Structure 1
Amino acid sequence: MINVTIYLKKRHNARDLVKYLLLKKLISSASIDENNISYRLVDSVLVEDVNNIITAQSKSLLFTEILKAVRKNIGEEVPINSTPIVGVNRIFDEIIRTNTLPI
């Protein structure tokens, strides 16, 4: 099981992407953090980015399909990462297993 983090520019509709991923059973649940501010250095200049961040739960074997779905709906230039979920209780386990595609 994994948490998938998708960084969308504000011009993209995070809600529509979440609905699509849920209906395709690629994720079991998601939350959206709107107007998330992050910072990075570009040529020694501090740059501020404002994004909408989707954090979703899924099965690790569905990660490649999630990448394809985001690429299809949004495009190539979307930063996405995943982190393992190393421990869950029975309720959380059932939510992920029953609300995603069978593997």
Structure 2
Amino acid sequence: MNKENEAKALINDLLTAELVANASLHIKNVIYRIDRGVLVANSHVVITAQTRAVLFSEIQGYIKKLHGEHVPLYSLPITQANDSFDALIRNHTKKILV
């Protein structure tokens, strides 16, 4: 995401829809890569959010619908958490019916 306001609006939408429990906004996150042997730096706005793994596909569809396929999205699994963090995620995201 390139625009701070667009990112803030997306965070609001994801929280309101209970798709994420919380989110952090990283403004001017510098990403480095090599392009034809030259180090290139690009500044981006990055959202980091915590949620349930089963909501990933729904979040992906939600973001695609609002912003298209150009928004990079990936998942990093939380393999361990204390009871307090686990409760935060469970109490602030959609209830999952099995």
1:31 to 24, 27, 33: 24
* Bigger Rg, structure 1 or 2: 2
**Structure 1 residue 11: deviation in Å?**
6.7
Q: Is the 8 A contact 1:27 1:100 kept in 2?
A: yes
Structure 1 runs of 4+ aligned residues shifted over 3 Å read none
Q: Which runs of 5+ in 1 are unaligned?
A: 1-7
Equivalent residue, structure 2, for 1:9 = 2
Percent identity over the alignment is 39
What code does the residue aligned with 1:18 have? I
Equivalent residue, structure 1, for 2:61 = 68
Q: Is the 8 A contact 2:19 2:93 kept in 1?
A: yes
Give the TM-score of the pair, scaled to structure 2.
Answer: 0.89
User: For residues 62-92 of structure 1, what are the alpha-carbon distances to aligned partners after superposition, in whole Å with 9 as ceiling and x for unaligned?
Assistant: 0011111111122111111111111111111
Highest relative contact order (Cα 8 Å, sep 6+), 1 or 2? 1
Q: Which runs of 5+ in 2 are unaligned?
A: none
- Whose strand proportion is higher, 1 or 2? 1
Aligned length: 96
Equivalent residue, structure 2, for 1:84 = 77
Give the TM-score of the pair, scaled to structure 1.
Answer: 0.85
**Structure 1 residue 54: deviation in Å?**
0.4
| TM-aligned CA distance change 1:9 to 1:97, over 3 Å | same
